[in-house]
Amino acid sequence: MVPSLGAALSVLSPVRAVWLTLTAAFLLALLLQLVPPGLLPSCAIFQDLIRYGKTKSRPAICRSFDVPKRYFSHFYIISVLWNGFLLWCLTQSLFLGSPFPNWLHTLLRNLGAAQSPEGELVLSAFLVLAFLWLHSLRRLFECLYVSVFSNASIHVMQYCFGLVYYVIIGLTVLSQVPMDGRNVYVVGKNLLMQTRWFHILGTMMFFWSSAHQYKCHVILGNLRKNKAGVVIHCNHRIPFGDWFEYVSSPNYLAELMIYISLAVTFGFHNVTWWLVVTYVFFSQALWAFLSHKFYKSKFASYPKHRKAFLPFLF
Ligand SMILES: NC(=O)c1ccc[n+]([C@@H]2O[C@H](COP(=O)([O-])OP(=O)(O)OC[C@H]3O[C@@H](n4cnc5c(N)ncnc54)[C@H](OP(=O)(O)O)[C@@H]3O)[C@@H](O)[C@H]2O)c1
The answer to pTM > 0.85 is yes
Give domain status of residue 138, yes or no: yes
Give domain status of residue 313, yes or no: no
Q: Please state, in angstroms and rounded to a whole number, the distance separating the CA atoms of residues 174 and 177.
A: 5
Q: How confident is the model at residue 1 (pLDDT cuts 50, 70, 90)?
A: very low
Percent of the chain with pLDDT over 90: 79
pLDDT for position 46? 87
**Pocket of ligand 1 contains residue 69 by CB under 6 Å:** yes
Count of domains for the chain: 1
Q: How many residues belong to the chain? A: 314
Residue 298, CA atoms < 13 Å, CB-side half-sphere: 12
**Pocket of ligand 1 contains residue 210 by CB under 6 Å:** no
Tens digits of per-residue pLDDT, 230-249? 999 999 999 999 999 999 99
- Average pLDDT (34-58) is 83
pLDDT for position 294? 97
- Average pLDDT (223-228) is 97
Question: Residue 245: which residues within 8 A CB-CB, separation 6 or more?
Answer: 303, 306
Percent of the chain with pLDDT over 70: 92
Give domain status of residue 5, yes or no: no
Give domain status of residue 6, yes or no: no
Give domain status of residue 82, yes or no: yes
Cα–Cα distances (Å) from 276 to 27, 48, 313, in that order, read 13, 24, 22
Domain range holding 87?
15-298
Distance 250 CA to ligand 1 centre (A): 10
Give domain status of residue 8, yes or no: no
Amino acid making up residue 299: F
For residue 154, report the phi and psi dihedrals to the nearest 5 degrees.
-130, 160
**Pocket of ligand 1 contains residue 54 by CB under 6 Å:** yes
Q: How confident is the model at residue 120 (pLDDT cuts 50, 70, 90)?
A: confident
Burial of 27 (0-12, 13-18, 19+ CB in 10 A): middle
